[in-house]
Homo-oligomer: A and B are copies of this chain.
Amino acid sequence: MQVEIKAPYLLFLGDEPDPTHAKTAIGIVYWRREFCVAQMRLPGCGADLGIPDMTPAQAANAGVRTMIWGVAGVGGLIPPTWIDNLFTAVDAGLDIVAGTHASLTKIPGLADAAAKAGVSLIDIRQPPADLPVGTGEKRSGLRLLTVGTDCVVGKKYTALSIAREMQSRDIKCDFRATGQTGIMIAGGGIPIDAVVSDFVSGAAEMLSPENDTDHWDIVEGQGSLFHPGYAAVTLGLMHGSQPDAFVVCHAADRVRIEAFPDFPLPSIAELIAQTVSNGRLTNPDIRCVGVSINTSGLTTGERDIYLSRLAAEIGLPCIDPVATSVAPLVDHIVDTFQ
């Protein structure tokens, strides 16, 4: 069983004064506007998602099934002023989904209130129980994994962009989420970095089950094979996903692993080679289908030069999913796998 979230959503922003702290909620509205019926803001809230304001009761009347807790309190703590509203949401019949470090079930009385109301408190960091060990058995269907030179280089954004582009072309596909924000956007998934290491590849197998032979699972990557802290997560996710195709994600102005100054980033070519070398264990036909670069640190002129030089070097489409488009990547995927 994966984590599952019932749409549509009421997005709770609390009294968060800093709009940039509402990144998760902004992402959900951006990628899944159809899931987002309303926002709930307390006095002092500095964020605005541009959707109607509702109370939990109003949202429930409008068909909402889940209140998404879309901001993090400082240090992961739950501000006392928010807690009343969690009870109000439960009483209105809404599930509550949270990804913060303070567990919903530890708020005194909330679990009882939820049980009485027949609703669920969902901690999105909690992986499913009883995950299997990976089997390595080949599954039908096609899979694409985004891999990165580092964390926070656009793996989720790239995967979502590719899935959206494929859907616009009527290619059968699903975005498969492996992190908290991705799970809220997808309405389900597995928080792969919270899985016990023995079961990481098994969890990844469960996340992208067998499917139609022309169906693509677009799997959100995590970490990096070149990250001294998180490479184990990356490898297990790759072995379980058995990707037929992978897209390398990178930030153009990044030269070192973020917060690990002793670790220079690999070159794109090195990352491709290492990904193929490790990935062929569970899919001998694994191949790179392109590179997705966050070029927001470059000028437009620099970006064009950067992407065209890289494309010449690698011999594959190199794009910026925001500034240009993932269409050339999807063109190449279609050409390669038709």
Contacts and interface: CB of A to CB of B under 8 A. Distances in A.
Interface of A: 133-138, 192-198, 200-202, 225-226, 228-233, 235-236, 239, 260, 262-263, 274, 277-278, 281-282
A189 B320 CA distance: 46
Given A136-B262, A197-B197, A236-B197, A202 B229 contact: yes
B262 A137 contact: yes
B198 A196 contact: no
A263 B136 CA distance: 8
A132 to B, nearest CB: 9
Contacts of A195: 196-197
Given A236-B231, A260-B136, A192 B201 contact: no
Contacts of A282: 228
Contacts of A136: 228-229, 260, 262-263
A125 to B, nearest CB: 10
Contacts of A193: 196-198
A21 B169 CA distance: 59
Task: Report the copy number of this chain in the oligomer.
Answer: 2
B197 A229 contact: no
6 interchain residue pairs of minimum CB distance? A136-B228, A232-B236, A134-B229, A133-B229, A193-B198, A197-B197
A159 to B, nearest CB: 19
Contacts of A232: 197, 200-201, 232-233, 235-236, 239
13 contacts: A133-B230, A136-B260, A136-B262, A193-B197, A196-B196, A196-B197, A197-B233, A198-B233, A201-B232, A228-B281, A231-B235, A231-B239, A274-B278
A278 B192 CA distance: 21
A206 to B, nearest CB: 13
Residue with the greatest number of chain B CB neighbours at <10 A, chosen from A136, A192, A228: A228
Given A137-B262, A138-B262, A232-B233, 15 more contacts: A133-B230, A136-B260, A136-B262, A194-B196, A197-B200, A197-B233, A198-B233, A200-B232, A201-B230, A225-B278, A232-B232, A232-B239, A263-B281, A274-B277, A278-B278
A286 to B, nearest CB: 13
Residue with the greatest number of chain B CB neighbours at <10 A, chosen from A133, A138, A230: A230
A44 to B, nearest CB: 33
A330 to B, nearest CB: 29
B135 A228 contact: yes
Given A197-B195, A198-B193, A260-B136, A231 B281 contact: yes
A281 B274 CA distance: 11
Contacts of A134: 228-229
A243 to B, nearest CB: 14
A225 B227 CA distance: 17
A103 to B, nearest CB: 14
